[in-house]
Structure 1
């Protein structure tokens, strides 16, 4: 099983070397790494070039993060596709091999795990822990979702059910996972371990204003898929994240 990992970057020179190295040091042999850069001007491209043919990358303007992700998915030649942000890194070098084993053992369309958050400048102190839990389809109605950066999906699912919708600004990942797992009832299995370390300050967590926009886009995600959430579903989604601040790994 070949696994493709995609990073979307823009002016990520301060952190992307650690991201790349955390991918390239994975112990899984059949791994493809793709970086889609949005025409960075801060030295990111020089860093990408320094890795030679160990990574595939393009650097050009895009129409946003989901347009860039679609470029990566279409470039990917793997059976399974996952993502890692340009500010983020794998917690150990066995993540991808564990993901692959979960696919092989469970014969599912998707695999997801847990995610932990650290602050910029402090990679050692965990400030938030997202324990995803076993997959129960009905939990989508309770505001549940898997963390996108711990979510791995067969490429055939993209080809059958579509790619990221590019006019979302921060909830395109939620819409895609909702469409794949809830609307089309694809199978998913939970890998009960941390598969991603993320630095605080991502696009969808940057401010309350962003959180409001995300909530509006979450509602649109259900509507465009002709799905009807409970009245409380999309209120529970951000509320559920509060507990992550007190959860320990």
Structure 2
């Protein structure tokens, strides 16, 4: 069974090679690897070319942002399962094998996902378990770990990433799947991805977060009372987090 792994990158010379190696060194070998570059001006293209013979497809052209690049990758994919691995992150060696095994043993789900290792700015590694609360997912935000998701090609034919959003489009795609059927998700209880914090979403203002959170929930059909409740919770969590930092 073919699995497609996609990396989108823009000026990612610092960590891209580690990402590529983690894909190429997977124990599951029936994969295609696609890299979508947004027209990098650093050493990104040089790094890609060093591994060109082992990369199925790569393109380098301007895009309209992260989610446009992800959609381009999905358009090029031939796999039955499709996964995104960011250019700052890397897989555990058995990641793909574990997810394929879950898919074969538990067919019929749309999204297969797992736990994740969080890597802070000092390199400290912390295991973050998946929070199973559907209430928190619906009202607090993305409790699923998007970098761990292996999504069926069939699901991607129903939903793509909304390019009008800059940080919450993955949340919208997963919410759309959830509202169609909350039983579309299969959880694999192991960490498969090492995720470096400090990307685009970490640098986004609270105003932008609230704005996109509102748009996502409106787009998926939540009523205004539900939306207001969710925004209140999100803002409360942000304020509490900031108070902890200041103290």
User: TM-score, structure 1 length as denominator?
Assistant: 0.86
Q: CA deviation at 1:53?
A: 2.6
Note the alpha carbon deviations across 1:159-194, whole angstroms, 9 max, x for none. Answer: 1x2211111011011111111122454611111111
In structure 1, what is the equivalent of residue 245 of structure 2?
none
Residues 53, 105 of structure 1: alpha-carbon distance in 2 compared, 3 angstrom cutoff: same
Residues 96, 167 of structure 1: alpha-carbon distance in 2 compared, 3 angstrom cutoff: same
Cα RMSD over matched residues? 2.2
Q: CA deviation at 1:232?
A: 3.3
Note the alpha carbon deviations across 1:169-223, whole angstroms, 9 max, x for none. Answer: 110111111111224546111111111111121111125x1x4312321221110
In structure 2, what is the equivalent of residue 119 of structure 1?
120
In structure 1, what is the equivalent of residue 151 of structure 2?
153
Residues 203, 77 of structure 1: alpha-carbon distance in 2 compared, 3 angstrom cutoff: same
Q: CA deviation at 1:9?
A: 0.2
Confirm whether residue 180 of structure 1 aligns to residue 177 of structure 2. Answer: yes
Q: CA deviation at 1:130?
A: 2.7
Give the match's secondary structure for 1:132: coil
Q: Which runs of 5+ in 1 are unaligned?
A: 244-249
User: TM-score, structure 2 length as denominator?
Assistant: 0.86
Confirm whether residue 86 of structure 1 aligns to residue 81 of structure 2. Answer: no
Aligned positions, number: 234
Question: Based on CA coordinates, which of the two structures has the bigger radius of gyration?
Answer: 2
Residues 113, 102 of structure 1: alpha-carbon distance in 2 compared, 3 angstrom cutoff: same
Note the alpha carbon deviations across 1:24-65, whole angstroms, 9 max, x for none. Answer: 100112111111000101010011011123112100000111
In structure 2, what is the equivalent of residue 203 of structure 1?
200
Q: Which runs of 5+ in 2 are unaligned?
A: 242-247
Note the alpha carbon deviations across 1:128-184, whole angstroms, 9 max, x for none. Answer: 5431144x655533425311111111011111x221111101101111111112245
Residues 220, 50 of structure 1: alpha-carbon distance in 2 compared, 3 angstrom cutoff: same
CA distance in 2, matches of 1:138, 1:221: 16
Note the alpha carbon deviations across 1:64-118, whole angstroms, 9 max, x for none. Answer: 111000000010000011111111111x210110011111122121111112221
Residues 65, 236 of structure 1: alpha-carbon distance in 2 compared, 3 angstrom cutoff: same
* Conservation of the 8 A alpha-carbon contact between 1:82 and 1:151: yes
